[in-house]
Amino acid sequence: MLEAQSLECIRDDRLLFNDLSFTVAESEVLQIEGPNGSGKTSLLRIICGLRLAEAGQVLWYGESILTNREDYYANMVYIGHLPCVKGDLTVLENVRSLLDTRSLTLSDPEIEAALAKVGLASYEDVPGKALSSGQRRRILLAFIELSRARLWILDEPLTALDVQGVALMESMILEHRQAGGSVVFTTHHGMQLDCDMSSVQLGRKKEGSRC
């Protein structure tokens, strides 16, 4: 459903990658691999349409994401390094305001069920500033769980998560894959996924090889 065509990214006069092409099919889990500074985050921001590639294009069902933002964004969700959590809003309000950007209005029980799933049951009315960084990441897990997006783009989703959190993320990805959804992610932590995975290597002399 997502197709990257000969992408090129230059940052501060350094060529991070060029002629990088890959596709993401339904039920596919794709890991972007590479050392620090090899352009993983830049690549993810390019396929989100947040960053512009120096060359090449990203297609969503055959149409450029830049001309088709509305349809693409209704079907994808992106989680970056930053927590997106407001200290002055409660956990429930934080999830709600994230869902509002996607025009999803869910009932309280639905959101509470998702919060319980990510281990934030009974935290609904706690303000964001009282949470640990791991708990803030868990708010984002509840958000992607509720987002109804078919494509998840996750930049270092395991940051600050404990062992149970990592297991939770893994099971969420597997569940999402079984439901026909796709995931593109980067991670430096070992993610033990019990399914077929493809990968894209960055930061080598010859980029874009696929295993």
Partner 1 sequence: MLKAYYHLLIRDLRLSLRSRHELANPLIFFILVVTLFPLAVTPTPEALQTMAPGVIWVSALLAVLLSLDRLFKLDYEDGSLDQLMLSPNPLMILVLAKVTAHWLLTGLPLVIIAPLLGLFMSLPADAVSVLIYSLLLGTPVLSLVGAIGVSLTVAVNRGGVLLSLIILPLYIPILIFGANAVDVASDGLPVTGQLLFLGAVLALALSLAPLATSVALRITASR
Q: Does 5 bind partner 1 (CB under 8 A)?
A: no
Written as one string, the DSSP assignment of 92-141 is HHHHHHHHHHTT----HHHHHHHHHHTT-TT-TTSBGGGS-HHHHHHHHH
How many residues are recorded in the chain? 211
Helix (H/G/I), strand (E/B), else coil: 155: strand
Beta strand spans in 25-106 (E): 29-33, 55-60, 63-64, 76-79
Backbone angles phi, psi at 151, to 5 degrees: -115, 125
Distance of closest approach, residue 148 Cβ to partner 1, in angstroms: 11
Q: Does 84 bind partner 1 (CB under 8 A)?
A: yes
Q: Which stretch, 14-22, 86-94, 116-124, 179-187, contacts partner 1 (CB under 8 A)?
A: 86-94
Helix (H/G/I), strand (E/B), else coil: 186: strand
CA–CA distance, 142 with 157 (Å, rounded to integer) = 12
CA–CA distance, 45 with 29 (Å, rounded to integer) = 17
Q: Does 100 bind partner 1 (CB under 8 A)?
A: yes
Pairing of β 2-11 and β 151-155: unpaired
Q: Does 74 bind partner 1 (CB under 8 A)?
A: yes
Q: Which of 34, 39, 83, 181 binds partner 1 (CB under 8 A)?
A: 83
Q: Which stretch, 24-32, 41-49, 115-123, 198-206, contacts partner 1 (CB under 8 A)?
A: 41-49
CA–CA distance, 79 with 50 (Å, rounded to integer) = 12
Q: Which of 6, 19, 25, 50 binds partner 1 (CB under 8 A)?
A: 50
* Choice between 94 and 201, CB closer to partner 1: 94
Distance of closest approach, residue 186 Cβ to partner 1, in angstroms: 16
Binding flags for partner 1, 147-186, as an x/- string (CB under 8 A): ----------------------------------------
Q: Does 44 bind partner 1 (CB under 8 A)?
A: no
Distance of closest approach, residue 151 Cβ to partner 1, in angstroms: 11
Q: Does 78 bind partner 1 (CB under 8 A)?
A: yes
Kindly list the residues in this chain that would bind partner 1 in the complex (CB under 8 A): 45, 48-52, 69-71, 73-74, 76-78, 80-86, 88-89, 93, 97-98, 100-103, 105
